[in-house]
């Protein structure tokens, strides 16, 4: 790794970005990297940097920092360990009251200098309200543990935000819904002669594609092919847009028809140009 890497009781100390990248590349190729970091040396380096700000060694960082929906987070057990090791923490206690649907996880954290401890509670009722109770995965297999993690995350962030540097627990982050990718509408522009249509008509076809209606599609195609005037084609454009908006025609079929209309418009362009010149 070079002379700039030194060994401490807590593991390697990476003093330069070159050292960090070299170590990240080695780690990303190894079985020691969690699956989300394998083959991603840059992510390994950033995770190690986040961990270093919390006082973690490089290997602790890789095992403790998780990226969920593009946001860094920290596993709950590590968050508790970091807070307990901080000079501002006096103590942290955790309990679970009740059983079954009456369970409530309680976490109480005492910050040095604060007259009162910080308490957070998370109940089965809270989990149901957040649509977490009975959710497949840890909320079904380890429901008691998940209640505890949620109460812990709230208490530690409220009592020691400076210690955690704004990171939330990975257990909480994993429960947030995954953002849907923004789907840009497909814009199909029809050609038009400058004399009659200074601005091209724009038809917006929204994604996602709906189920197709072959019969309706074929009828529309036949009418477009028989159209003998530009006005008829423009009427077809408007009708197709109405059918697409109502869901009677899929966005994919509408797009195909508009492309055909665009080609048919080209047929009328020379004729209209000649008429304009002779007028």
Instruction: Give the mean pLDDT of the chain.
Output: 79
Assess whether pLDDT exceeds 90 at residue 67: no
State how far the alpha carbon of 87 is from the alpha carbons of 163, 174, 270, in Å: 10, 30, 83
* Gyration radius (Cα) of the chain, Å: 31
Residue 57 pLDDT level (bands cut at 50, 70, 90): confident
Assess whether pLDDT exceeds 70 at residue 273: no
For residue 224, what are the contacts with CB-CB under 8 A and spacing of at least 6?
Answer: 233, 236, 257, 260, 261, 264
Bond into 67 cis (ω within 30): no
Q: Which of 41-50, 66-75, 168-177, 253-262 has the lowest mean pLDDT?
A: 253-262
Assess whether pLDDT exceeds 70 at residue 184: no
CA–CA separation, 232 and 224 (whole Å):
8
Residue 189 pLDDT level (bands cut at 50, 70, 90): low
**H-helix or E-strand spanning residue 169:** strand 168-169
Assess whether pLDDT exceeds 50 at residue 9: no
Whether the CA torsion 81, 83, 87, 91 is positive or negative: it is negative
Record the pTM: 0.57
For residue 36, what are the contacts with CB-CB under 8 A and spacing of at least 6?
Answer: 43, 66, 67
Query: How much of the chain, in percent, has pLDDT values that exceed 90?
Result: 30
Please work out, in degrees rounded to the nearest 5, the angle formed at the alpha carbon of residue 227 by the alpha carbons of 222 and 231.
135
- Quickly tell me which residue has 């009740």 as its tokens: 98
Query: How much of the chain, in percent, has pLDDT values that exceed 70?
Result: 76
């Amino acid at each position: 790794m070079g002379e700039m890497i030194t060994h401490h009781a807590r593991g390697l100390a990476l003093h330069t970005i070159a050292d960090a990248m070299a170590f990240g590349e080695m780690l990303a190729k190894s079985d020691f990297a969690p699956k989300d970091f394998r083959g991603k040396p840059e992510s390994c380096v950033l995770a190690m940097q986040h961990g270093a700000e919390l006082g973690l060694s490089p290997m602790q960082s890789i095992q403790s920092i998780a990226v969920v929906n593009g946001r860094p987070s920290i596993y709950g057990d590590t968050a508790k360990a970091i807070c307990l090791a901080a000079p501002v923490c006096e103590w942290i206690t955790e309990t679970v009251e009740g059983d079954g649907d009456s369970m409530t996880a309680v976490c109480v954290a005492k910050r040095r200098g604060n007259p009162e401890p910080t308490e957070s509670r998370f109940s089965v009722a809270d989990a149901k309200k957040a649509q977490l109770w009975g959710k497949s995965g840890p909320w079904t297999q380890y429901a008691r543990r998940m209640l505890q993690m949620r109460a812990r995350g709230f208490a530690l962030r409220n009592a020691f935000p400076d210690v955690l540097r704004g990171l939330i627990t990975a257990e909480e982050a994993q429960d947030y819904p995954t953002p849907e990718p923004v789907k840009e509408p497909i814009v199909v522009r029809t050609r038009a002669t400058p004399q009659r249509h200074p601005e091209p008509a724009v038809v917006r076809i929204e994604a996602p594609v709906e189920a197709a209606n072959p019969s309706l599609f074929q009828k529309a195609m036949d009418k477009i092919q028989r159209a003998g005037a530009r006005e008829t084609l423009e009427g077809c454009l408007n009708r197709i847009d109405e059918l697409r908006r109502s869901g009677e025609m899929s966005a994919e079929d509408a797009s195909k028809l508009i492309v055909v209309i665009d080609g048919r418009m080209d047929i009328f362009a020379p004729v209209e140009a000649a008429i304009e010149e002779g007028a």
